[in-house]
């Protein structure tokens, strides 16, 4: 379940990207009741892109933004309660790492749910039921 974390340069201090990913990942797992799950944890992946401020825009104007995008099976981040809790925490993580300099209104998030059966989990395309079964083992 990859997290794509895209940051305008300077949104958080250089070198704190790893901490952001670790904390956001822990939040995702925690809010799904999977913190410490040996099957799920290694399948939550991430990549970070840091873009020059001249490459990030709002309303066509340059600005400092942060985007968190999850690509997950349909059962993940499906509950409104989980959505509210996780994204509030993830937004706070970025705000704190920025020292309060990154405006919360410029921290964005979204979720893309994958087609059932298309998710590659441990090297095998699995259905939601198969993933749930794998997670229950760990």
Of the candidates 44, 46, 58, the one whose C-alpha atom is nearest the C-alpha of residue 11 is 58
CATH of residue 55: 3.30.429.10
- Domain containing residue 96: 2-136
CA angle 9, 15, 17 (to 5 degrees): 75
**Cβ neighbours around 75 below 10 Å, total:** 15
> Considering its fold, how many domains does the chain have in total?
1
Q: Name the pTM for this structure.
A: 0.94
Tens of pLDDT, residue by residue over 21-72, are 999 999 999 999 999 999 899 999 999 999 998 999 999 999 999 999 999 9
Of the candidates 77, 97, 101, 96, the one whose C-alpha atom is nearest the C-alpha of residue 87 is 77
């Amino acid at each position: 379940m990859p997290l794509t974390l895209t940051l305008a340069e300077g949104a958080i201090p250089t070198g704190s990207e790893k901490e952001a990913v670790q904390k956001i990942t822990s939040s995702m797992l925690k809010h799904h009741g999977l913190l410490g799950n040996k099957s799920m944890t290694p399948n939550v992946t991430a990549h970070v892109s840091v873009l020059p401020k001249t490459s990030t825009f709002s309303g066509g104007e340059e600005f400092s933004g942060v985007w968190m995008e999850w690509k997950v099976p349909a059962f993940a981040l499906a509950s409104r309660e989980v959505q509210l809790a996780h994204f509030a925490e993830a937004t706070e993580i970025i705000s704190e790492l920025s020292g309060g300099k990154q405006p919360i209104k410029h921290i964005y998030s979204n979720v893309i749910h994958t087609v059932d059966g298309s998710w590659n989990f441990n090297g095998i395309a699995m259905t939601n039921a198969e993933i749930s079964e794998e997670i229950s083992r760990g």
